[in-house]
Amino acid sequence: MSELDKMQDEKQEKMNDLEKLRKSMTELDDDGLNLLFLEARTHNGWLDKPVSDDKLKLIFELAISGPTSTNCQPSRFIFCTTAEAKQRLIPCVGEGNVAKINSAPVTAIIGYDLSFWVHLPRMFPHKDMSANFRNNTAAAKTAAFRNSSLQGAYFILAARAVGLDTGPMSGFNNQKVDEEFFANTDIKSNFLCNVGYGNSQTLFEKLPRFNFSEICEIL
């Protein structure tokens, strides 16, 4: 059997597995929807319970599986789990976020690589798309920021899916974070996200959401 035949067989096998999955589970039940969306909350306080490295790796594996344009995957992650790492991060954040970071088991820095396009021949082998970004800094920045934001959202949902809580944050100085954690690279920070087991006693009331009719149109 040729290498091409093997690749075709592997592709067909994966497609068959996907079809089996769709037939066995067509949609999440109410508990799944509540876990990921309807009852999920942004946490500010945390239980004194560690998050294992294996759990972080699982969150990554789930988040990286979400779609990005031309499979560009520009997001880059740093997980601050030690006191030393957090002490590097604390001077970069606003006063209101200091206690949140100190109490959270993990603070993730979600960044984006402006040179993501150098990996496109590997990540998108169907067609060389790197030329679209090689000499177009603006296009690279737009694609990197947009798709890393998508991957950051996948990250939040992935953490919730494996039983953890999240607390995404702005409220920091991007330049300081970049200088401290991404010096001499083409990586820039997008946002921060605390991860752990949330303390429900510190939750605020859930804030209002728009109704469908207020902000949506079906044309």
Rounded to whole angstroms, the Cα distance separating 63 from 159 reads: 9
**Structure tokens given for 2:** 């040729």
Give tens-digit pLDDT for 97-135.
999 999 999 999 999 999 999 999 999 998 999 999 999
Of 145, 152, 78, 150, nearest to 109 (Cα)?
Answer: 78
Using CA atoms, how far residue 73 sits from 20, 95, 114, 182, 207, in Å, is 27, 32, 11, 17, 32
Given this model, what pLDDT does residue 123 score? Answer: 96
Q: Is the pLDDT of residue 58 over 70?
A: yes
Rounded to whole angstroms, the Cα distance separating 64 from 56 reads: 12
Rounded to whole angstroms, the Cα distance separating 47 from 42 reads: 14
Sign of dihedral through CA atoms 15, 127, 151, 210?
Answer: negative
Residues 6+ apart with CB under 8 A from 33: none
Given this model, what pLDDT does residue 19 score? Answer: 81
42-200: what fold? NADH Oxidase (3.40.109)
Rounded to whole angstroms, the Cα distance separating 33 from 40 reads: 9
Q: Is the pLDDT of residue 215 over 80?
A: yes
Using CA atoms, how far residue 185 sits from 79, 123, 140, 141, 159, in Å, is 17, 20, 15, 14, 27
> 176 and 92 in contact (C-beta within 8 Å)?
yes
CB burial readout 87-119, b (16+ within 10 A) else e: eebeebbeeebeebbebbbbbbbbbbbbebbee
The one-letter code for the residue type at 148 is S
Predicted structure pTM score: 0.91
Q: What is the mean pLDDT of residues 137-163?
A: 98
Give the percent of the chain with pLDDT over 90. Answer: 86
**Structure tokens given for 104:** 């959270």
Q: Is the pLDDT of residue 5 over 70?
A: no
pLDDT averaged over every residue in the chain: 94
